[in-house]
């Protein structure tokens, strides 16, 4: 028989549900996370829609129930029988009220269902469901109680209740049945359905959460971020790491990988010891360098003498280390090769044990490593460095060590020293010839940016029919040169070579080229310089890390930074020595006091009973400090003789003098600079060597051009107003008929020239496109010819307005503008040393160009204004300009809205009286046509 004690409470819940049946139980609630109730984020539940932050205040408002918790009672045990008595304890009622959370029948009657006899087949399932529900109830009630009281966790007593022979532990907090029922009710989204008797739902709580989630749209899985924030958080740290810790060298001339390797070898004792296996060095370096062994070994190979990549290698090597000038000649594995530090490496570590540079922890904090090496010479200028970082790069060429040191000495003595006097040009370990242009080199020295050319060296063996190349540019390899020459032979661009061989051996690089009979070796080499990497450019970008920030500097700026760094190293050394000398002097001062009464000191030591009391007694007896007393106490008995004591007194005087001298050196910039100069002079004497790269001046070399390859024969060139170009041979011109043109087109220019002639095509966008007559195929009179904007790749909407033809860039281009001005530009202003195809700012864009004339010598030009005035101008009266985009000078005076309408070269029969239209001074207004000239219909001549 079921207990009807809770009928009143059940009726209240039913009335509430009926009252809100039209809008549903969810209407008074809104979606909430478990954080709102239980401090977790496992799913979604419903919470009252009230804006009050207090949970229990919101519950009171929604259901009218109290939230005050009853006082805990003592533990009691009671066995629940098949028929429950009419009188039950409040603890049992709490358990019965909580049961609906795990049942799918009516929440209020759930305890009655639990009291009924459970079939034996479903008994096990019932017990499992009951235990799970009880655990959830205990957890929920505990959290609700903590929230209501505002007190943390407290020790509470529980009662053990037996349900169908199953003990269940229930906390006294469960005596607040109304609060529990209403929390449970907020988790239900629909009325429970009836199911067969005895069956229990295991996880109705999860179903309720899923029902809520179906009605609520889900948000994005992640919060989107802007591209700027993403780059800043993810990309910038990587970029800075590559720039600062990998690709860009610092003022000591090394990248971090170089520095870590060399310092490891120094600590291994390889500066003075014998050779050791490269694998041993690589493995030890991994304590400082977190990269793999292959990367570390590649770094050591580049620094080794056998690789021939540096003018002054820092690693002595034994075994096959490959060659810098060969792509295919790879180094042997690290287990086969041996290495040690070269003698010059001593200049990298001089006095490093005196703390002259800063040390930091390695990547795992187990060792210390220097941030820079205290190099005693500007290694940044003697060791070539090329690195590509993120968003920037560095390319530092190498200079001769002796020249760099001499330049540094002269710069220290005279900051206004002309660098080119002592630092002639870069120098490379692969030799070759530096093509020196004073202007280009001065720009590199000043800005740290620019480029210069290096070409290979060759000699003729066994007569002029065999060429041997024995030095190549630093930027290329033997294989790249041979591959390029072979490709040119296959393309038919080189026909003089019969055979090419790579004869590189232990004696060094050697490329042999066999010529076909009757060919000129010198001329072939000029052609090979032009078409192959036998002549290459080295681009300079002196980008160096200074204080952790990249900076592009010229030579003087680099020397300034290095001198500042070196002065700091020397000061650190002097301070270190000074501290050591002062410490030693302090000890000798204590000994000096003992010497005054040595018998007293002996007596104190002899009469002291305990060893630990010797030092304190000496301190008390002579008034010295602990360090002095320790020093005196450690003196052996054999040293207590007159000679030893006199020597210590003399040492004291010497130390006092040295300390004073060191202090004066620290205060004197001149003395520190003198020490730097002394070091540099010693390096020149000890490690200086002759240049490997020869210097040839740019003006002294013969330059090969494509013109030399083009066949030379006469042609007639035609250019039309619509921008069409024809190249016709004399024979074809004689045999052809009338020139074919597009409708409304006419021939603007006809020139007899050579197939090697240079062509300058002027566009209406103030640009000039350069070409050669040999670049165009021959045409016939019956064809339209080549459309220049398409053939030369003009910009969209750009048209060709004039063509100038020249063989030597002598003469002028005279341009007349709509505003009455004229510009007379030297034709050699359009000449370029490189094979540039497009020149911008070719003439002024301040006013529209009306007419162009390419003249070898001055001539007369007829100008016509929009008001029908005419003026004859001799171009000799127009001052020449070297700047291409000059606005020119005024030649025709124009009033109000008048403008220059046209121009043409003057001819003898243009006017009856030409002097009427000439003037002695410019600008001039011109004259109207005379009646006699009007009869000749001069209005249409332009």
Q: Give catalytic residue positions.
A: 336
- What are the start-end ranges of the H helices in 500-641? 521-531, 555-595, 598-607, 614-622, 626-633
For 348, 381, 538, 560, 582, the CA distances from 396, given in Å and listed in that order, are 19, 7, 9, 17, 44
For 34, 56, 279, 789, 792, the CA distances from 69, given in Å and listed in that order, are 22, 12, 76, 94, 93
Alpha carbon 423 to chain centroid distance?
A: 31
> Residue 819: how many CB atoms within 10 A of its CB?
17
Per-residue DSSP letter, 245: I
Cα–Cα distance for residue pair 542/562, rounded to 1 Å: 14
For 132, 257, 462, 465, the CA distances from 459, given in Å and listed in that order, are 97, 40, 10, 11
DSSP 75-131: ---EEE-SS--S---HHHHHHHHHGGGG-SS-STTHHHHHHSPPPHHHHHHHHHHHH
Cα–Cα distance for residue pair 515/465, rounded to 1 Å: 5
Report the candidate in 205, 320, 202, 342 with the shortest Cα–Cα distance to residue 270. Answer: 342
Q: What are phi and psi of 9, to 5 degrees?
A: -65, -40
Cα–Cα distance for residue pair 819/887, rounded to 1 Å: 10
Cα–Cα distance for residue pair 619/628, rounded to 1 Å: 8
Give the pairing of strands 786-787 and 724-728. Answer: antiparallel
Contact 512, 465 (CB under 8 A): no
Cα–Cα distance for residue pair 938/927, rounded to 1 Å: 13
Task: Please name every residue paired with 839 in a beta bridge, in sequence order, or none if there are none.
Answer: 768
Cα–Cα distance for residue pair 936/21, rounded to 1 Å: 110
Per-residue DSSP letter, 327: S
Per-residue DSSP letter, 426: B
Contact 403, 421 (CB under 8 A): no
> Residue 596: how many CB atoms within 10 A of its CB?
9
C-alpha dihedral, 348 to 350 to 354 to 358, nearest 10°: -10
For 586, 597, 599, 609, 613, the CA distances from 604, given in Å and listed in that order, are 22, 11, 9, 10, 10
What would you report as the CA-atom Rg of the chain, rounded to the nearest whole angstrom? 49
> Residue 176: how many CB atoms within 10 A of its CB?
22
Give the pairing of strands 78-80 and 159-163. Answer: parallel
Q: What are phi and psi of 503, to 5 degrees?
A: -110, 25
DSSP 191-234: PPPP--TT---S-HHHHHHHHHHHHS----SS----HHHHIIII
Per-residue DSSP letter, 523: H
Contact 455, 473 (CB under 8 A): yes
Alpha carbon 366 to chain centroid distance?
A: 30
For 469, 495, 521, 534, 829, the CA distances from 517, given in Å and listed in that order, are 19, 11, 10, 23, 42
């Amino acid at each position: 028989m079921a207990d009807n004690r809770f009928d009143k409470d059940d009726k209240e819940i039913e009335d509430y549900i009926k009252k809100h049946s039209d809008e549903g139980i969810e209407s008074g609630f809104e979606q909430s996370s478990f954080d709102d109730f239980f401090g977790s984020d496992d799913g979604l539940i419903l919470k009252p829609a009230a804006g009050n932050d207090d949970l229990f205040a919101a519950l009171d408002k929604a259901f009218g129930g109290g939230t005050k918790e009853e006082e805990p009672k003592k533990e009691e045990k009671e066995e629940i029988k098949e028929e429950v008595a009419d009188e039950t304890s409040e603890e049992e009622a709490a358990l019965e009220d909580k049961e609906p959370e795990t049942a799918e029948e009516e929440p209020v009657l759930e305890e009655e269902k639990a009291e009924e006899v459970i079939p034996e087949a479903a008994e096990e399932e019932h017990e499992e469901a009951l235990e799970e529900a009880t655990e959830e109830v205990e957890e929920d009630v505990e959290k609700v109680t903590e929230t209501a009281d505002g007190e943390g966790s407290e020790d509470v007593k529980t009662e053990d209740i037996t349900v169908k022979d199953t003990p269940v532990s229930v906390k006294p907090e469960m005596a607040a049945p109304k609060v529990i029922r209403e929390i449970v009710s907020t988790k239900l989204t629909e009325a429970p359905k009836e199911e067969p008797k005895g069956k229990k739902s295991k996880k109705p709580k999860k179903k309720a959460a899923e029902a809520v989630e179906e009605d609520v749209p889900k948000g994005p899985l992640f919060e989107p971020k802007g591209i700027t924030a993403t780059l800043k958080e993810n990309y910038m740290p990587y970029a800075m790491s590559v720039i600062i810790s990998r690709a860009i060298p610092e003022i000591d001339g090394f990248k971090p990988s170089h520095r870590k390797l060399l310092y490891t070898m120094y600590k291994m004792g390889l500066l003075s010891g014998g050779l050791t296996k490269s694998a041993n060095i690589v493995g030890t370096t991994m304590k400082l360098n977190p990269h793999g062994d292959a990367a570390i070994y590649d770094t050591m190979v580049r620094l080794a003498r056998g690789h021939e990549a540096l003018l002054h290698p820092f690693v002595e090597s034994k075994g096959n280390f490959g060659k810098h000038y060969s792509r295919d000649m790879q180094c042997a594995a690290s287990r086969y090769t041996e290495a040690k530090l070269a003698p010059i490496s001593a200049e990298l570590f001089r006095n490093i044990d005196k703390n002259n540079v800063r040390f930091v922890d390695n990547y795992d904090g187990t060792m210390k490593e220097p941030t820079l090496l205290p190099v005693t010479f500007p290694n940044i200028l003697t060791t070539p460095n090329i690195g590509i970082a993120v968003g920037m790069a560095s390319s530092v060429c190498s200079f001769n060590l002796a020249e760099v040191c001499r330049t540094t000495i002269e710069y220290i003595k005279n900051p206004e020293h002309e660098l080119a006097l002592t630092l002639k040009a870069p120098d490379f370990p692969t030799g070759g010839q530096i093509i020196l242009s004073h202007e280009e080199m001065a720009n590199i020295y000043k800005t740290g940016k620019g480029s210069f050319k290096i070409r290979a060296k060759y000699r003729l063996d066994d007569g002029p029919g065999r060429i041997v190349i024995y030095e190549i540019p630093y930027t290329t390899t033997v294989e790249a040169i041979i591959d390029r020459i072979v490709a040119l032979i296959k393309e038919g661009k080189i026909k003089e070579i019969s055979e090419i061989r790579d004869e590189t051996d232990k004696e060094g690089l050697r490329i042999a080229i066999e010529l076909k009979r009757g060919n000129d070796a010198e001329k072939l080499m000029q052609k090979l310089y032009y078409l192959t990497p036998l002549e290459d450019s080295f681009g300079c970008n002196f980008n160096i890390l200074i204080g952790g920030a990249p900076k592009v500097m010229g030579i003087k700026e680099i020397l300034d930074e290095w001198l500042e760094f070196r002065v700091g190293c020397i000061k650190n050394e002097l301070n270190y020595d000074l501290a050591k000398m002062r410490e030693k002097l302090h000890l000798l001062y204590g000994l000096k006091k003992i010497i005054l009464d040595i018998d007293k000191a002996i007596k104190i030591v002899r009469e002291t009973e305990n060893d630990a009391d010797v030092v304190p007694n000496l301190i008390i007896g002579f008034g010295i400090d602990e360090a002095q007393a320790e020093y005196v106490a450690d003196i052996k008995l054999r040293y207590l003789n007159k000679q030893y004591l006199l020597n210590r007194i003399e040492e004291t005087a010497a130390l006092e003098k040295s300390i004073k001298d060191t202090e004066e050196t620290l205060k004197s910039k001149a003395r520190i600079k003198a020490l730097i100069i002394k070091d540099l002079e010693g390096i020149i004497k000890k490690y200086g060597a002759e240049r490997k790269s020869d210097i040839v001046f740019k003006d002294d070399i013969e330059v090969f051009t494509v013109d030399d390859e083009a066949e030379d024969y006469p042609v007639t060139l035609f250019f039309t107003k619509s921008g069409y170009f024809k190249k016709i041979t004399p024979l074809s011109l004689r045999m052809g008929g009338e020139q074919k043109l597009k409708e409304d087109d006419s021939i603007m220019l006809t020139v007899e020239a050579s197939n090697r002639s240079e062509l300058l095509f002027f566009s209406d966008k103030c640009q000039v496109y350069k070409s050669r007559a040999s670049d165009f195929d021959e045409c016939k009179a019956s064809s339209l010819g080549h459309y220049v904007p398409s053939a030369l790749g003009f910009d969209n909407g750009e048209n060709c307005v004039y063509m100038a033809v020249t063989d030597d860039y002598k003469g002028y281009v005279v341009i007349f503008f709509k505003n009455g001005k004229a510009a007379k530009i030297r034709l050699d202003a359009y000449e370029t040393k490189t094979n540039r195809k497009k020149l911008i700012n070719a003439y002024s864009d301040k006013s529209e160009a009306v007419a162009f004339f390419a003249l070898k010598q001055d001539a007369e030009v007829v100008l016509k204004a929009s008001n029908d005035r005419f003026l004859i101008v001799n171009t000799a009266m127009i001052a020449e300009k070297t700047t291409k985009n000059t606005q020119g000078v005024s030649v025709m005076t124009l009033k109000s809205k008048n403008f220059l309408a046209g121009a043409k070269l003057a001819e003898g029969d243009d006017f009856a009286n030409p002097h009427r239209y000439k003037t002695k001074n410019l600008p001039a207004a011109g004259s109207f046509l005379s009646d006699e000239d009007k009869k000749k219909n001069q209005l249409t001549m332009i």
